[in-house]
Amino acid sequence: MPKLLIVTTVPIVIVNFLLPFAAHFRKIGWQVDAMSCGFTPDDPCHQLFDRLWEVQWSRNPLDPRNLLGTPGKIREIVLREQYDIIHVHTPVAAFVTRYALKDVRKQLKAKIIYTAHGFHFYLGGNPLTNAAFLALEKLARHWMDYLIVINLEDRDAALKYELVPPDRCRYMPGIGVDLQYYNREMVPDAAVIALRQELDISEDTPLLLSVAELNANKRHVDLLNAFAKIARTDAHFAFVSTGPLRDKIEQLAIELGVIDRIHFLGRRSDIPVLMKAASANILASGREGLPRTILESLASEVPTIGTKVRGTQDLLAGGYGLLIDVGDVIGLTAAIDWILDRPEEANNMAKRGRVHIANYDLNCIIKFHEALYAEAMALQ
């Protein structure tokens, strides 16, 4: 029985992105374990994995726990279990795991694969921060067998900085979106009607959507400032998620006089319904890897606005959505107005978007993993 270990810094990454891979490989006869920090008793990972390994590390790369006792525990587990594939995700977990195993790789049969969901160095980033994270990636480049990148900027950077030999660098279009689940034809109209009743808005009220954690990088302040300027003063805006800036964003909405048309919905399990109900989905981030919300938006045929950052540009350039500069509130206002003023053109753009992301389908990405794992295990 082949054995796979999936490693992330925190379990939410597994829950949001990787459960379908665990389910698939267990279904075809693999043992699939997970390693992370912060599993809870009601975590769905308990049902989808054979075994969960709890380790102590932090999303903060400067936390001393990351390089003190944790590497030893990782070595102990991996040497005992003798996995065939160790697939690491997220920067801290990827670095610490590779560091932990660098001196024992000859004792392992495991091949180490790193999926970079977005390098922490990127075009337009702080030069000092970029240099530090690039140095860490260069340091760890000899401690893995394959590197997977999910956007074109990261692919070019991996080759430019020789983070792995070219034949070990694989571009993969994201980590998969279920095109059947995010198919607006599968969403009952009654569910959309019920949602609008929940929000207390009429059938013809424009609804803007942002599915993104309420943190500084997602730039919800830009969204609110643009929303306060749009021509349609009857439009409403729904923020879907939670985050540390919740109170600050609400206070700004009050100051701008739009709080009565803002909905803070928290985490939701009905994203396809929200997408079908929306006039547009907007992501104003300053940094992305390959944003899942944009994939979900395109799959749902929702007119989409994003910023000119890696990943987002891969998905929207070419007429599949509207792109604006990071921080360009005037441009964002104009993009929203265009979608609301030209619904037929906007909807045609959205239909093209769904066709565009056919290769991002979850089934395609699972097949990519199957092929790569088979190739890796065949290595001598």
Cα–Cα–Cα angle for 195, 199, 205, nearest 5°?
A: 90
What are the tens digits of pLDDT across the range 71-101? 999 999 999 999 999 999 988 899 999 999 9
Average pLDDT over residues 4-24: 96
- Confidence bin at 380 (pLDDT 50/70/90): low
Show the tokens assigned to 48: 């989808």
In the predicted model, what is the mean pLDDT of residues 114-121?
95
For residues 277 and 274, give the distance between their C-alpha atoms in angstroms, rounded to a whole number.
5
**Which two structure tokens, joined as six digits, stand for 243?**
């985050």
Q: Which residues contact 143 (CB under 8 A, 6 or more apart)?
A: 98, 99, 101, 102, 105, 112
Strands 280-283 and 207-211, bridge-based pairing = parallel
Q: Is the pLDDT of residue 152 over 70?
A: yes
Query: Please, what is the average pLDDT of the chain?
Result: 95
- Are 378 and 3 in contact by the 8 Å Cβ rule? The answer is no
| 218-231 confidence digits (pLDDT tens) | 999 999 999 999 99
Question: Are 260 and 236 spatial neighbours (Cβ–Cβ below 8 Å)?
Answer: no
CA-CA distances (angstroms) from residue 162 to 93, 128, 300?
A: 21, 20, 37
The 10 Å Cβ neighbour count of residue 241 is: 19
The percentage of the chain sitting over the pLDDT mark of 70, rounded to a whole number, equals 99
Choose the weakest-confidence range: 63-67, 151-155, 163-167. 63-67
Q: Distance between CA atoms of 172 and 154, rounded to whole angstroms?
A: 11
* CA atoms 28, 33, 36, 37: torsion sign: positive
Decide if pLDDT at 17 tops 80: yes
Q: Calculate the dihedral angle through the C-alpha atoms of 138, 143, 148, 153, rounding to the nearest 10 degrees.
A: 0
Q: pLDDT by residue (tens digit) across 347-361? A: 999 999 999 999 999
Domains of the chain, each with CATH number or no CATH: 3-173+361-377 (3.40.50.2000), 184-360 (3.40.50.2000)
What does the pLDDT look like over 218-271, one tens digit per residue? 999 999 999 999 999 999 999 999 999 999 999 999 999 999 999 999 999 999
Name the band, by pLDDT with cuts 50, 70 and 90, for residue 59: confident
* Helix 91-101 × helix 127-140 angle, to 10°: 30
Q: How far is CA 159 from the centre of its chain?
A: 22
Mean pLDDT, to the nearest integer, of 176-203? Answer: 97
